[in-house]
């Protein structure tokens, strides 16, 4: 399993709406994420609208494709689109970040795991 980090951007004038919607994500959306392999998924929001997501998945591309095929995801993305500062479905605008440091991996390589 891999841990993936990605960023996106919420419009500053929509931050409170974004928070409110994520305080009560639709149960069917939560189920779809779980069923398509999203694990230990968290979102972190900076005051300026920078959104950082962290998720554990077997295959990030496959998990995204599986979600894209879900009807509930299409509805969720349509509802969320107005909150983002980009064109198109918000989940297609994620920028995946490169892992440059993994403390546990380095400790394990040194036999200190």
Residue 90 confidence (pLDDT) = 84
44 is catalytic: no
Inter-residue contact 51 to 44 (CB < 8 Å) = yes
Per annotation, catalytic residue among 3, 19, 22, 34: 22
pLDDT digits 0-9 by tens, 42-70:
999 999 999 999 999 999 999 999 999 99
User: What is the b/e burial string over 46-72, where b = at least 16 CB atoms within 10 angstroms of the residue's CB?
Assistant: eeebebebebebeebeebbebbeebeb
CA dist 106 and 20 (Å) reads: 38
pLDDT digits 0-9 by tens, 83-93:
997 777 888 88
Q: What is the pTM of this model?
A: 0.88
What percent of the chain lies above the pLDDT cut of 90?
89
Q: Which helix (H) or strand (E) holds 86?
A: none
pLDDT average, residue stretch 17-30: 97
Q: Does position 111 have pLDDT exceeding 90, yes or no?
A: yes
């Amino acid at each position: 399993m891999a841990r993936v980090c990605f960023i996106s951007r919420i419009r500053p004038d929509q931050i409170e709406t974004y928070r409110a919607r994520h305080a009560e994500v639709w149960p069917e959306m939560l189920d779809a994420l779980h069923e398509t392999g999203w694990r230990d998924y968290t979102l972190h929001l900076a005051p300026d609208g920078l959104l950082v997501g962290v998720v554990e998945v077997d295959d990030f591309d496959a998990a995204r494709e599986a979600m894209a095929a879900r009807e509930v995801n299409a509805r969720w993305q349509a509802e969320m689109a107005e909150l983002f500062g980009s064109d198109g479905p918000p989940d297609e605008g994620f920028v995946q970040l490169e892992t440059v440091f993994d403390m546990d991996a380095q400790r394990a390589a040194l036999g200190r795991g």
